[in-house]
Structure 1
Amino acid sequence: MAKPSTASSAWHKALMTIRELGGIIRTTDAIQAGIHPRTLYQLRDSGELEVLSRGVYRLTAQGDISDPDLVTVATRVPQAIICLVSALAFHEITTQIPHAVSIALAKGSETPRLDYPPLSVYRFSEAALKEGVETHQIDGISVKVYCPEKTLADCFKFRNKLGMDIVLEALKLYKARKKFNLGELIRYAKVCRVEKVMRPYLEATL
């Protein structure tokens, strides 16, 4: 689709705004920034923008995204925290390939409606939700992920859903690839109320 001459200023303004916002924008944020939806569609049709998910656009010129699924989730569901197997994969302490993005949300919060990527939603208590959260920059987007120690405690808490083989492999890889922090592991085990379950496995790794 050729760029309409009458829209050139709107295109230029929109592209500049999207670049200033890190190269990724939601339709709602675009409208708030003064970009007409029609301009987004024209930029999409011209190849200037690509669609990451419904209502989420990204500048094509920025090249490939290192982790498009996490970027999309962080953009569409900013309150979500990457957890469990997805967090294990982020920290490189699992051989599992997540088939959905695992996210933690507060109990009672609305379930996100996302066409892609698929989500596995876990509900955390207020105390467990806020502990151990790290913020990482992925392609200019802030992504909240639980730290390795909190992730392991969460995995023990949800061991019946994940399977102990995944949990124990993660603990083994954590010891091999990360600085083993027994104090933090115990602290998060207490937060997640799995200290009695975790202690024998932690002591066996010492």
Structure 2
Amino acid sequence: MTTHLENLMRVAETKGLIRARDLADHGIPRQYLSIACERGLLERRDRGLYALPGAIQTEHRSLVEVCTIVPHGVICLISALQFHGMTTQSPFEVWLAIGESKEIPRIGLVKLRIARFSAESLKAGVESHDVNGAELRVFSAAKTVADCFKYRNKIGVDVATEALRDYLRQRKGPIDDLTKYARVCRVERVMEPYLEALL
């Protein structure tokens, strides 16, 4: 018969990152997190977030950790551009989209930049990527470009223009996707002259 500690390690290997509150689903008492940390089997990444030592060694580690801690959030704007390889910017913080009425999450692991999205915009164009067993939620390349134009006063028109240029040059997707998400973000008229100039 397997022990709680063995079950915990199996979950850690499968999921990559474990939230303390997820243990109830597996019938594992929370105190086993402390036991695993004391024995060096797990490391505490943030309040309520644990991982195998050295797990998720990837350039997207902080994005994955933020998605695990804030399951209702989506990686957006500069962080999404970086994920898609569509910017020369290298943000030291993680840009996260949350709903208009959601409480701002408190994370000690990384610095967050919060952008509030409407319910419709928060659901549109979300991609889910598996990174070493953990889920990374990020807006698609086309949705990110539209978001950049919507939040151009926050991130700069030059960043939005660079994102559009890279989307087209790298052939990240069809132009129809850009128009679709520009409509969702209500920036069709704003984007139109830039799109015409680059085509």
Pairwise same-fold verdict (TM > 0.5)? yes
Task: Please tell me whether the aligned partners of residues 46 and 108 of structure 2 are also in contact (alpha carbons under 8 angstroms).
Answer: yes
SS in 1 for 2:63: helix
Percent of aligned positions that are identical: 41
Correspondence for 2:131: 138
Q: Alignment partner for residue 110 of structure 2, among 113, 117, 120?
A: 117
Question: Unmatched 5+ residue regions in structure 2?
Answer: none
Distance in 2 of aligned mates of 1:180 and 1:26: 35
Q: Which whole-Å CA distance do the structure 2 matches of 1:100 and 1:45 have between them? A: 30
How many Å apart are 1:62 and its aligned residue? Answer: 4.3
Residue in 2 aligned with 1:168? 161
Residues 1:150 and 2:133 aligned together: no
Aligned 8 A contact 2:60 2:83 in 1:
no
TM-score, with structure 2 as normaliser: 0.91
Moved over 4 A (4+): none
How many residues align structurally? 198
With 26-35 and 81-90 compared, the bigger mean Cα shift is at: 26-35
- Could you tell me the TM-score, scaled by structure 1's length? 0.88
Q: 13, 17, 20: which one pairs with 2:11?
A: 17
Structure 1: segments with no counterpart, 5+ residues = 1-7
CA RMSD across the alignment = 1.9
Paired residues of 1:74 and 1:144 also in contact (CA < 8 A)? yes
Which of 92, 101, 105 matches 2:98?
105
In structure 2, give the amino acid aligned to 1:53. D
> CA 1:156–1:9 in 2, change beyond 3 Å: closer, same or farther?
same
Check 1:135–1:204 CA distance in 2 against 1; reply closer, same or farther (3 A cut): same
Match of 1:68 among 30, 54, 61: 61
Larger radius of gyration: 1
Out of 100-109 and 63-72, give the one that drifted further. Answer: 63-72
